[in-house]
Amino acid sequence: MGRNPVGRLSELRPLRLDTVAAIGGLLIALVLFPLRFFASQVYLNTVPVVLGTACILYLVRLYYQQQATDDIRLTLPSRVTMALPTAVFLGLAALVVLAVHQGARTISFFVLASVVGALVVGQICFASDRDFNARLLLFQIVLFALVVRGTALYATPGFIGIDVWTHMGLTEQIVSEGRVGAISHDKHYASPFYHLLVTASSMLFDVSLRSALYLTLGLVMPISVLLVYAGGNLLVSQRWATLAAALYALASHVSMWGLHLIPTSMGLVFFLAMLYALLRVMRIEYTTRDFLLLLLSSIAVILTHQVSTFIMLVLLLAAFVAQLVFEIGPLGLTRLDASVFRTKKPVNLLGLVVFNVGLTIFVWSLTPYRDDSFLETVLRYFSETVKESAGFLNIASGSSGDAAGAAEAATTLLDEIIPYVNEFGFLILLGATFVGCLYIVHRRRAEQSVFTLLLATAFMLVFVMGFPMFGIHSFIPNRWFAFLYAPMAILGAIGLRTLDRGLAPALVVAVLLLFTLVYPGAMLFATESNIDNPVFEDHQEQLAYTESELAAVGSIGEMTGSPDGDELRRDQGLYTDHPYQTLFSRTGAYPSTDIATVPAGGTADHNYVVYRTTAANEAVYFNNADGQGRIEQATVDRLCRPDQATVYTNGDVTMCTPSPATE
């Protein structure tokens, strides 16, 4: 009793924080599991199961780690490993031929792409150390990403997506007037890097704006996956860093921003560069050049895209919190095992955080948005959302992650399955991420860089899954996933390496086969990967248009004179399906365009309507009698009434207006 009490918990025998975290995670999964009985949402139904499974696997790994070794790891024969790259290249060539021959990426394309993706991931997971070739595999990954996305861009007339039409319109204004001030009325006036890139590339290469976009950002997006490899290789060996790059390249939302090329895509590239620079500064004795890359990457994000900027600030916040954790040293986390991660003093990021927050506030204060500054508008919109919509389990459907509405309206087995198909790849990666997080919370493996990844992932998951659970969608959660996949891919690779080194051989093979055989197809069949030509065309809208549909927009615009809203009477608005209505408004062909109201079993009651034959057999949105949008297949007679006159048709698109006899 005469001894002095221990002053700090870190002076005691170190606790196994990873074990405590695994048991705590299992308990949290058990607590969250009953939420499925109070609300129908895909994440509520699946995340507790994924979390519980990951924690159980990690605890099993702790039990077997003394018995399992790398020597009993299953590997492919050398002849098979040497033949697989050839099979991948032949498969990629077949994908190009298939897309060109069929004129689109069809179901057969995605099936073949899933097989090719499995061959790539299989090489990474099962090649022996002697046969493993990181450079060859990285080449296959980049080429795979380029082919899968490039074929969609080549086969699709016009552009893929909705917002891209607005941004190309802004770019055309810059080109026509020869100055950035041409878009001074728009919020992108303060973040014009995307529009300046396309403008400059068009002039430099003497090509159209569409070609300039594809030759620059369209090529950079697949190549940017190498930044994930570079960042991962600062933490783990080449095999697992290569796997991180493959997991990221295959991710559905990453593919989507490689198809829908807008400032979000460009912001994602700069975000990856910043993430790499941040990890590099934390992991090595960095130079001024390294810190300058970090600073310039963060500034580039700010000058490219507002949502990307906010996500970047979340990453910086995570890095700063990690710095505080290791400077204060709670629970002795600064006791590092040098054989796992190199011991290094935490990097002081306070100045960088303050600078970026200050620059962001300054830029957003000058950014015009809805008759006010972007900063004031966003703050006002967020406060209104919290007051009016916030509430526990107040889940609203909208993004791919919010499937409550779809689940409630399900009438067939396919309706119920599709939301889970869309999220299956994400959930598989999430499970590996949980394992990676458990591994790095061990006090002798903890380090600022990996804790930054852990905290960044946790913070982002709050924005994409936590806030929507309370009815808060102000942060546009669907835009976060591609950014979230970067730290998740690295942590997931760490998690798979952990299981590979500690689980019983049979479980190791089962886990790696899951990622090899299922993950590529799950990601490729998710909605975001095939927005140009949906796999489930009856349940997912197509965000690309045919030549005749594009021609109809131009012809109707010329025929009507593209009248502004103040030039029209209230009854002269144009109505059609969604997303086709966005094409009219965003190209300026007919700015006053909205979604047609088509009552169930009834007909539309609008004077000016546009119908396209796609609406008869594919998923498009119409409003119901209550003004709620829903997928509805409709024939032409449900939009064009007998008392209306057909003033334009090209076989695929028809425009109907009031008949002169009825006016």
pLDDT at 40: 77
pLDDT (mean) for 162-172:
95
pLDDT at 329: 62
Contact 498, 235 (CB under 8 A): no
Give dist(CA 375, CA 267) in Å, integer: 19
Tokens at 437, concatenated? 């997080």
- Within 8 A by CB and 6+ apart from 92, the residues are 116, 143, 144, 147
Contact 86, 522 (CB under 8 A): no
Is it the case that residue 348 has pLDDT exceeding 60?
yes
pLDDT (mean) for 521-530:
96
pLDDT (mean) for 543-563:
92
Contact 42, 420 (CB under 8 A): yes
- Within 8 A by CB and 6+ apart from 87, the residues are 119
Contact 541, 530 (CB under 8 A): no
Is it the case that residue 561 has pLDDT exceeding 90?
no
pLDDT at 72: 55
Give dist(CA 256, CA 347) in Å, integer: 34
Higher pLDDT, 549 or 370: 549
pLDDT at 428: 97
CB atoms within 10 A of CB 441: 21
Give dist(CA 515, CA 424) in Å, integer: 11
pLDDT (mean) for 92-108:
96
Q: How confident is the model at residue 506 (pLDDT cuts 50, 70, 90)?
A: confident
Which of 14-23, 102-111, 220-229, 347-356 bottoms out in mean pLDDT, i.e. has the lowest? 14-23
Cis preceding linkage at 579, omega within 30? yes
Higher pLDDT, 568 or 195: 195
Instruction: Indicate the SS3 state at residue 590.
Output: coil
Give dist(CA 438, CA 22) in Å, integer: 6
Q: How confident is the model at residue 663 (pLDDT cuts 50, 70, 90)?
A: low
Tens digit of each residue's pLDDT (9 = 90 or more) over 475-486:
898 999 999 999
Q: How confident is the model at residue 4 (pLDDT cuts 50, 70, 90)?
A: very low
CB atoms within 10 A of CB 212: 22
Contact 126, 177 (CB under 8 A): no
Tens digit of each residue's pLDDT (9 = 90 or more) over 606-648:
999 999 999 998 899 999 988 888 998 899 999 999 999 999 9
pLDDT at 65: 65
DSSP type of residue 597:
B
pLDDT at 385: 75
Tens digit of each residue's pLDDT (9 = 90 or more) over 37-69:
877 788 989 999 999 999 999 998 887 765 544
Give the type of residue at 144: F
pLDDT at 10: 41
CB under 8 A, 24+ apart: contacts of 401-408: 401/42, 401/43, 401/464, 401/465, 401/468, 401/477, 401/478, 401/481, 402/41, 402/468, 402/473, 402/477, 403/41, 403/42, 404/39, 404/40, 404/41, 407/40, 407/41, 407/42, 408/40
DSSP type of residue 10:
G
pLDDT (mean) for 431-443:
91
Percent of the chain's residues with pLDDT above 90: 67
pLDDT at 567: 65
pLDDT at 36: 82
Contact 573, 608 (CB under 8 A): yes
Tens digit of each residue's pLDDT (9 = 90 or more) over 575-611:
999 999 999 999 999 988 999 999 988 899 999 999 9
Give dist(CA 559, CA 582) in Å, integer: 18
State the average pLDDT for the chain: 88
Q: H or E stretch including 231?
A: helix 225-233
Give dist(CA 131, CA 148) in Å, integer: 27
Give the type of residue at 119: L
Give dist(CA 209, CA 60) in Å, integer: 55
pLDDT at 18: 85
pLDDT at 406: 38
Percent of the chain's residues with pLDDT above 70: 89
Tens digit of each residue's pLDDT (9 = 90 or more) over 378-414:
888 888 777 776 655 665 444 333 333 333 444 677 7
pLDDT at 38: 79
Distance, CA of 260 to chain centre: 11
Give dist(CA 572, CA 182) in Å, integer: 29
pLDDT (mean) for 301-311:
95
pLDDT at 391: 59
